[in-house]
A and B are shown apart, each in its own frame.
Chain A
Amino acid sequence: MEIKFDRIASVMFLTIGVLFIIGSKNLSSSSYGSVVGPDIFPLILGGALVLLSIRLFYETFNAKSEGSKEKLQYKPFLIIFTATLVYILTLETVGYVITTFLFLFVCFQTMERSKWINSLIISASFSGLVYFLFVEVLKGTLPGWPIWF
């Protein structure tokens, strides 16, 4: 698993390095009298990244695979990840209070399916309290309620 990840990662880092080199080649080399323009630094770094990722790729051939496999909890992770994504995407339209409440409630229940009244109370008070403190007391900006309100 680790070696496989390292190989994929080294190819990805190599690509990033090459892209940065191409990207900095396209920048104008100097905009004023100076000899060193905005392209030098990313160019050097891109080159360094390319070299390092080749070295990493080379290292994966010498590394020994570690056979430790642990069971990962994919299901709760995927639920929470999706919940977070939905939370982020709906935050500005539906508003902070409702989305946070729903997000927390879903996550609490995903972590452990029990005591839904407790989850309800905690998620409601968290979202309410944060909104109240930030918007009313500290006068910050948060999209509070749905925009169609």
Chain B
Amino acid sequence: MSTLDYLFQGFGTALIWYNIIFAFVGVLIGTAVGVLPGIGPMSGVALLIPVTASITGGLPPEQAATSAIILLAGVYYGAMYGGSTTSILLNTPGESSSVVTTLDGYQMAKKGRAGSALSIAAIGSFVAGIVTLIALIALAKPLSEVALKFGPAEYFSLMLLGLGAVSGLAGKSVTKALIMTVCGLLLGTIGIDTVSGIARFTFEVPWLYQGIEFLTIAVGLFAVGEVFKTILEKEDEEVEMARITNMLPSKEEFKESAGPIARGSILGFFVGILPGAGATLASFFSYILEKKISKNPEKFGKGAIAGVAAPESANNAASGGAMIPLLTLGIPGSGTTAILMGALMMYNIQPGPLLFEDHPQVAWGLIASMFIGNLMLLILNLPLVKVFAKIIQTPKKYLIPMIIAISIFGVYAVQVSTNDLLLLLACGVLGYFFSKNDYPIAPLVLGLVLGPMIENNLRRALTISNGDYSVFLTRPISLAFLLITVLWLVVPFIMKRRGKDVVINIEG
């Protein structure tokens, strides 16, 4: 079957009535998550996994996985749309990938052009979403065919590359990021070893035999940790919202932003594919690029529409681009995609090259639903932006305890164990201290998700080579991956030594 046939089948899946509802709910919650400062896409997706798991419980496994991933991915890219709203109206980015948008967006709002800034942001996000989807469709098949030729040695090195890239770019200190990665990998070894059947580090505690559940850790570190931070560092600031007057951008504004949107989409997409470099970095890069090639760079920072169009397109494109390594190689390049991967694995669906052959319904259904979701977001965001902006006025008083309650309900609904709830609480406290002291959390979750797979591939490769470790260096593709990993970790280090500013990825 050709790619187009698969795509049509995907639309068939995505257009089932309940999947449309799932996509709609996903993008709606995603927009809300993007608008609310404090809940990023990572905690939003983590928080919703158990909720979707219980909602989809009645469906057959494959359909349940499709519906769940449609909703969760909707939250992910929906958050990219929502983030711009508060950046422009309130000068407070809803999540880290919209930080750059505040520079010009808020200035535009001050001059009474909030409406056109919001529309351009939404249109740019939409165009970028569609561009990346087309690229995703074009690249998915060939890439997964290449990946099918990989042996365990190549996989091991590739996953190492993914981990190294995320650690190299996450946070201020590479040492801390690597420590978190190793901790995640070590947590992944707890439980019954799948190859030999030996219980490792379980201390005869039955609860530990099935291993540490990734969901508990992710929800605890991200969502509960974030909540504790908000409680501890209470800020009472009354923000004044800019007024939205005219939603339609003028012809000139359209003309001015067409180029930035196109460049932002393409740049964002490629940055998104790279492991470790997520939406935050993409928006940052595209802003710098626009400023460099602009004829009058002095306009930036004073309300240039290109300064809104480019980063907003780029962050949405990056969120689509990040899906490529996840779906085709089975390697998440960022914290959020790691959580998405964990969600898929909860449904016993292994992302990777075989995904397109074994579960075409899941893969193509997701891709088709992203078309629909992006369209919904465009329609939702243009007229309803005022309603969304109101969400930010939700009193924290009610929001914070409810997030804790939802986390506890979610983890209990999936795990049905008080021990997991205690672990959740402990992770919340740890998550607060970790992020306060610049220990990035995303690498830990990534390590936890990838750990068992890395270990299996390592052992398979070594079994094939009869315990000869040089197998990773003699196979050319594997060697290339390892070299890139080393470069990725060493180059920023050297650049820092030379006193250059290294752009870091806060989102992970």
Contact = CB atoms under 8 A, between A and B. Distances in A.
Interface of A: 2, 5-6, 9, 13, 16, 20, 23-24, 27-28, 30-32, 34-38, 40-42, 45-46, 48-49, 52-53, 55-56, 59, 70, 72-74, 76-77, 80-81, 84-85, 87-89, 91-92, 96, 100, 103-104, 107-108, 111-112, 122, 126-127, 130, 134, 138-142
A138 B198 contact: no
Given A5-B433, A13-B183, A126 B458 contact: no
A31 B198 contact: yes
A126 B467 CA distance: 57
A49 B418 contact: no
B462 A73 contact: no
Nearest to A101: B405
A140 B414 CA distance: 10
Contact of B200 (A27, A80, A89): A27
> Which among A2, A20, A36, A48 has the highest number of chain B CB atoms within 10 Å?
A36
Contacts, number: 161
10 contacts: A13-B179, A34-B462, A38-B193, A41-B189, A91-B418, A96-B409, A100-B409, A104-B405, A126-B405, A130-B405
Contacts of B233: 70, 72-73
Given A76-B231, A134-B54, A36 B467 contact: yes
B108 interface: no
A16 B182 CA distance: 11
Given A49-B179, A91-B421, A73 B54 contact: no
A56 B176 contact: yes
* Smallest CB-CB A-B distances: 9 pairs: A107-B401, A35-B467, A111-B397, A38-B193, A88-B421, A31-B196, A36-B462, A112-B397, A41-B455
Contacts of B54: 134, 138, 140
Contact of A40 (B186, B201, B437, B459): B459
A96 B398 CA distance: 19
Nearest to B401: A107
B57 interface: yes
Interface in B378-399: 395-398
A9 B434 CA distance: 10
A87 B428 CA distance: 15
B153 to A, nearest CB: 13
Contacts of B437: 2, 5-6, 9
B55 interface: yes
Interface residues on B, range: 35 or more
A130 B54 CA distance: 12
A61 B397 CA distance: 41
Q: Mostly helix, strand, loop or mixed at chain B's interface?
A: helix
B382 to A, nearest CB: 31
Interface string B298-311: 00000000000000
B458 A41 contact: yes
Given A36-B458, A41-B459, A59-B175, A111 B182 contact: no
B201 A52 contact: no
B134 interface: no
Given A27-B200, A36-B462, A40-B458, 12 more contacts: A6-B437, A13-B179, A31-B197, A36-B459, A38-B196, A45-B186, A56-B175, A76-B231, A84-B425, A88-B422, A126-B405, A138-B57
A103 B55 CA distance: 24
Contacts of A130: 405, 409
Contacts of B58: 138-139
Interface in B32-80: 54-55, 57-58
B128 interface: no
Contacts of A49: 179, 182-183, 186
A55 B493 CA distance: 14
B416 interface: yes
Interface string B197-220: 110110000000000000000000
